[in-house]
Amino acid sequence: MSNKKHIPFFGVRVKKRLIELNMTQRQLAKNIGVNENYLTDILNGRRSGKKYIDRLTKTLALDIEESNLYKNEVDKTMFDYEQKV
């Protein structure tokens, strides 16, 4: 069994963009108005962070289609979870 974490594509994309912009996660969290730990949870897929996706996209000048795909992925995951509960 592998202990590797699955990081969502959107989280990987954000982290790559931070490197390109020479920006830290701490700076990004401050810019979008969230706690640094909460941002980390979003990027690692532990929290949906759906209401912050547009701010992330705008702040980092990411492709809007990528953020829409992530929002759809979050919606499906939440739907699947609700069906199990």
Q: What is the pLDDT of residues 34-84, one digit of tens each?
A: 999 999 999 988 888 888 988 998 999 987 776 666 666 665 555 454 555
Q: What is the pLDDT of residue 54?
A: 87
Q: What pTM was computed for the model?
A: 0.74
Is 42 in contact with 48 (CB distance < 8 Å)?
yes
Domain ranges of the chain: 9-84
Region of 33 (left: φ > 0; alpha: ψ -120 to 50; beta: rest) is: left
Q: What is the pLDDT of residue 63?
A: 79
Architecture of domain 9-84: Orthogonal Bundle (1.10)
Q: Is the dihedral of CA 26, 28, 32, 34 positive or negative?
A: negative
Residue with tokens 């962070």: 49
